[in-house]
Amino acid sequence: MKPRGLLHRTPAARKPEADSGTRGRRWRATAAAIFSTLCLVVTFGAADSGAAAPQTPAALPSYDHVVVVVFENKQYGEIIGSANAPYINQLANAGASLTAMKALTHPSQPNYFNLFSGATQGITGDGCYTPQSMSAANLGQELVAAGKTFTTYNEDLPSEGSTACTNGQYAQKHNPWFAFKNVPLNSGKTWAQFPKGDFAQLPHLSFVVPNQCNDMHSCPVASGDTWVKNNLDAYAQWAKANNSLLVLTWDEDNYLGSNTIATVFSGAKVKQGKYSSAYNHYSLLRTFEDLFGTTHAGNAASATPVTEVFGDGTTPPPGGDLKMANPGAQSCKFNQNCTIQITATGGKAPLTYSATGLPFGLSIDTSTGRITGKPWQTGTLQTTATDTGAATATATFPLTVNWF
């Protein structure tokens, strides 16, 4: 009989040690498998993260000068396609027009603050603010910090840097820049200081604010249309050949619509066409900031910039070969059948025809371009026919309705 202590040295007694080694090897194999799986998870997770990362925004052109004109209180349809705004429609048809641009609120003044600083800054009405009482980031301050120049030209402003609440047709509520202590007061200039004779003297970015008649607030659309033609057409033509840009926009609609407003881009590197992407004043502010490489103020930081309207100026948009034949002077007789055929060539189907300035009793077939009916209005009217496909073409002609 073996001593009791030797029982632990028998093969049977050593078996637990062998099982322990096997379990160790199995554990190490399992751990290795788990580690490999985790590595795969981490690797695929990193790949997914990269795929979901936001894309870099499309590059915007670099401009020498940008002039922004702000008008007042008109719905999109009161401007675009209106016979009361022939010059603005000329700019829109030859340049880029936003068809789904919206103001953010009512009344006027908070929208100006949204456009300039990306927030209302607590402004809810049209009352006069305390000058240089705010320090929030804004477009003027950002441009100066980026080494760019910024100026505003305000019609009927009493004098350069004046913080007057009102002066004749001038209203401080349309000029948010005076509210910010980080914007020099002397950047607010009178309209007389606009360099009409030498546009190369313009700052990198400037706002133009007509008085309350010429911005369409207190006077008809035609008044503002005539004002911008008389005062800024020379710049609009110069901009095309001098790497510069003109932008027309509105503060809000007339409370009777969905706050959709007209916005037009005209100048160098602008792709002609109508663009239906949804934008607002934050988008416009973000666009100006990105054009000059500044930081972003307020809600502009998360806004989508307007990039689709810009190009190199050499490649026309799809359907850009669309042309409309001008029918020339036309005449009809009062209360008698009248037919005028509008014809377009090129472009990309389907094409849609429209017309403004037609006398009562005449209408245009949107698919054929044929104007028909019996006019119940005499006199000569300037009629504008528009054909829209992937691009837009227009023709303006006089239409006279005679009694006999």
The per-residue pLDDT for range 103-147, each reduced to its tens digit, is 999 999 999 999 999 999 999 999 999 999 999 999 999 999 999
For residue range 44-95, list pLDDT tens digits in order: 233 232 322 333 344 799 999 999 999 999 999 999 999 999 999 999 999 9
CA distances (Å), 267 to each of 84, 98, 392, in order?
23, 15, 17
With residues binned 3-state (H G I as helix, E B as strand, rest as coil), the percentages for the chain, rounded to 5, are 30, 25, 45
Shared domain check, 239 and 94? yes
**Among 306, 299, 259, CA closest to 282:** 299
Query: For position 335, which CATH number holds?
Result: 2.60.40.10
Domain that holds residue 34: 4-50
Q: With residue 232 as reference, give the H or E element that holds it.
A: helix 221-241
Cα distance between the two ends of the chain? 144
Q: With residue 49 as reference, give the H or E element that holds it.
A: helix 11-52
Indicate whether 33 pLDDT > 50. Answer: no
- Most confident range (mean pLDDT) of 17-21, 43-47, 65-69, 382-386 is 65-69
Rounded to whole angstroms, the Cα distance separating 203 from 180 reads: 19
Q: Where are the extended beta strands (E) located within 201-295? A: 205-209, 244-250, 263-267, 273-275, 279-280
Contact 382, 85 (CB under 8 A): no
Strand order in the sheet with 370-373: 338-341, 370-373, 362-364
For residue range 99-112, list pLDDT tens digits in order: 999 999 999 999 99
Shared domain check, 270 and 377? no
For residue range 34-46, list pLDDT tens digits in order: 334 333 332 223 3
Q: With residue 359 as reference, give the H or E element that holds it.
A: none
**392, two tokens:** 């837009």
DSSP state of 318: T
Q: Where are the extended beta strands (E) located within 337-378? A: 338-341, 343-345, 352-356, 362-364, 370-373
Rounded to whole angstroms, the Cα distance separating 228 from 213 reads: 12
Query: For position 130, which CATH number holds?
Result: 3.40.720.10
Shared domain check, 73 and 24? no
Shared domain check, 38 and 153? no
Residue 214 lies in a domain: yes
Ramachandran assignment for 165, one of left (phi > 0), alpha (psi -120 to 50 degrees), beta (any other): alpha
CA angle (119, 129, 296) in 5-degree steps = 25
What's the predicted TM-score (pTM) here? 0.68
Rounded to whole angstroms, the Cα distance separating 133 from 249 reads: 27
**Is the dihedral angle over the CA atoms 206, 207, 213, 215 positive or is it negative?**
positive
**313, two tokens:** 């100026």
Shared domain check, 72 and 45? no
Indicate whether 322 pLDDT > 80. Answer: no
Shared domain check, 45 and 77? no
Considering its fold, how many domains does the chain have in total? Answer: 3
Shared domain check, 267 and 171? yes
Rounded to whole angstroms, the Cα distance separating 3 from 210 reads: 115
For residue range 144-190, list pLDDT tens digits in order: 999 999 999 999 999 999 999 999 999 999 999 999 999 999 999 99
DSSP state of 399: E
CA distances (Å), 238 to each of 98, 141, 190, 199, 241, in order?
22, 27, 22, 8, 6
Shared domain check, 348 and 212? no
Percentage of residues of the chain with pLDDT beyond 90: 69
Shared domain check, 296 and 342? no
Shared domain check, 358 and 272? no
**Among 102, 120, 100, CA closest to 112:** 120
Rounded to whole angstroms, the Cα distance separating 72 from 210 reads: 10
